[in-house]
Chains A and B, each alone.
Chain A
Amino acid sequence: MKQVQAVIIGGGSAGLSAAVTLKKQGISDVLVIEKDEEPGGILEQCIHNGFGLQTFKEQLSGPAYAERFIKMAQEQNVKILLNTTVTKLTADRTVEYVNAEEGVVQVQAGAVILAVGCYERPRGGINITGTRPAGIYTAGQAQRYLNIDGYMVGKRVFILGSGDIGLIMARRMTLEGAKVIGVAELMPYSNGLPRNMKQCLEDFNIPLLLSHTVSKVFGKDRLERIEVVAVDENRNPIAGSEQYFDVDTLLLSVGLIPENHLADHAGIVMDPSTKGPAVDDRYMTSAEGIFACGNGLHVHDLVDFVTLQAERAAEGAAAYLKSGKRKGSALHIRNGNQISYCVPSQFYPEDPAEKLTVYFRVRTPLDRGTLVIRSGEQIIRQVKKQKLLPSVMEEAVLTAKQMAVLTDDITIEITEEG
């Protein structure tokens, strides 16, 4: 079997950034496997701006951001296999891929980085009753048709879910001449970034119906009409609140889920709160030498954070290739009050990083609260926070000095003030 020092699965923002970092760390034999016909991943269809403010100190479109990393990868002579799908990964780091030129190939990797991205929750994942007409798409699918393939998916559009892609597609479809009737959100608050509420909905007077959902679709061949209902605090439909809208297109922006079937099949331990692999502070999964980063680990709202995380994961993979297993045993990082997830979820106090950034999200919007990092009963750090939103990823930072003395698991929590 062919041996490769490092295989990166996925050539999007996480994979490219990890590849460049591995090369800079002196790992010469790096192979990126990408299923699409060009590298860049989801960035290629995110033609709006707002990318790169942290990485490049300027505002770029998604394709322009990707192009910078594609160029860096080329300059570092990273080998990228395109039109190639990984079909299997095992815990001993055998990677099986398939493409039209080579057929089915197995390689043995010294280290593997999963940079596999996420997928959109489809119609089947939420309960909408009715017929099965054409005209119902996930928002990202419609985004690809429009921004890469050049096809409009409809003229009268309704959007279910206020995730960022849904909001961005509301603006995009409007610019292209469609009429966006409205956006319904099941929760009593928006799931998108505040800037997208402003520039994608308010700018174009598109109404947002909070605590509403689509309950039924009508249409034989093509979508003709939808039923929208208000929901109560338990998210149950309120009888008598039905409204009907005549639309030919329904876009779903109802959640992103890390793509995890490769990791699952390899027997890697999953974190139920992120639905991605559980990782330590070097982004290594439960399988030795297999690392994970980007949206395949947990869903990010900013590509700049994906880039940073992929760099950390690549540094972790490089350290593993150079010196193997780490010293000591891991402590856990646990979700406390109001925290929906923490990444990473483990760290090694006897072998601490210079600084550990823990990414987390809150469960519900909070006007103000205090971020508390505890180890057992001992409070390590407290930081006052304002305007915490589930749609905005937050960070908690621990220094090597703080970590080195710990013997108990860490809990991250938000204490609320009255």
Chain B
Amino acid sequence: MEKELICVNCPMGCRLTAVIEDNKVVSVTGNRCPRGKAYAETECIRPERILTTTVRITGGIHRVLPVISEQALPLDRIMEAMEVLRTVQVQAPVTVGDIIAADILGTGINIVASRSMDAC
């Protein structure tokens, strides 16, 4: 079976064609980088996405701090991860890359700060 996909890794948005046999991706074409191949392989089996959102912060310049998952999470668990992050509150100062929620939902993936925020 052939499946047409749009790679979501970067704004290039490559149009990929994946060939699937026995629930496995056997070939990928149309990708301009290795990320595209990896994307097609998971997208046809269990889609994954990078999660970006905000958590509450006190003592900083703003009321919220942007955060990002270090790796892609299963798309079907994104809303669950949001539920967890809704309860997280951090204190400034924070440095970009600081772990905000370790091992989210037991996936082994950390949610980290995507910017620094000084105390003020």
Closest residue of chain B to A203 (Cβ to Cβ) is B75
Task: Render A165-180 as a binary contact track against B, CB cut-off 8 A, 1 for contact.
Answer: 0000000100111000
Q: How far is the CB of B65 from chain A (nearest CB, A)?
A: 9
Q: How far is the CB of A192 from chain B (nearest CB, A)?
A: 10
Contacts of B47 in A (CB 8 A): 203
Q: How far is the CB of A202 from chain B (nearest CB, A)?
A: 9
Verify if B77 is at the interface (C-beta below 8 Å from A). Answer: no
Say yes or no: A59-B63 contact (C-beta < 8 A), given A49-B68, A67-B96, A175-B53.
Answer: no
Task: Render B61-75 as a binary contact track against A, CB cut-off 8 A, 1 for contact.
Answer: 111101010000001
**B12, B13, B62 interface centre (most CB from chain A within 10 Å):** B13
Task: Render A106-126 as a binary contact track against B, CB cut-off 8 A, 1 for contact.
Answer: 000000000000000000000
Contacts of B61 in A (CB 8 A): 37-38
Say yes or no: A47-B6 contact (C-beta < 8 A), given A61-B115, A302-B11.
Answer: no
Say yes or no: A61-B68 contact (C-beta < 8 A), given A193-B13, A199-B49.
Answer: yes
Contact between chains at A63 and B66 (CB < 8 Å) = yes
Say yes or no: A47-B66 contact (C-beta < 8 A), given A61-B115, A150-B54, A195-B7.
Answer: yes
Verify if A233 is at the interface (C-beta below 8 Å from B). Answer: no
**B9, B11, B78, B96 interface centre (most CB from chain A within 10 Å):** B11
Closest residue of chain B to A387 (Cβ to Cβ) is B15
Contacts of B82 in A (CB 8 A): 175-177
Verify if A198 is at the interface (C-beta below 8 Å from B). Answer: yes
Contacts of A198 in B (CB 8 A): 6, 8
Please provide the chain A residues from 113 to 171 with a CB less than 8 Å away from any CB of chain B in the complex: 146-150
Contact between chains at A150 and B62 (CB < 8 Å) = yes
Verify if A352 is at the interface (C-beta below 8 Å from B). Answer: no
Contact of B8 among A38, A66, A146, A195 (CB under 8 A): A195
Contact of A195 among B13, B62, B68 (CB under 8 A): B13
- Offer 8 A-B interface pairs, CB within 8 angstroms, sorted by A: A47-B114, A49-B52, A61-B114, A67-B96, A176-B53, A194-B15, A195-B6, A302-B11
- Taking A172-B53, A195-B9 as known contacts, 10 extra A-B pairs with beta carbons closer than 8 A to each other, sorted by chain A number, are A47-B66, A48-B52, A53-B11, A59-B50, A64-B96, A66-B115, A150-B54, A150-B62, A199-B8, A203-B75
The 7 closest A-B pairs by CB, nearest first: A63-B115, A150-B63, A47-B66, A61-B114, A150-B64, A194-B13, A195-B13
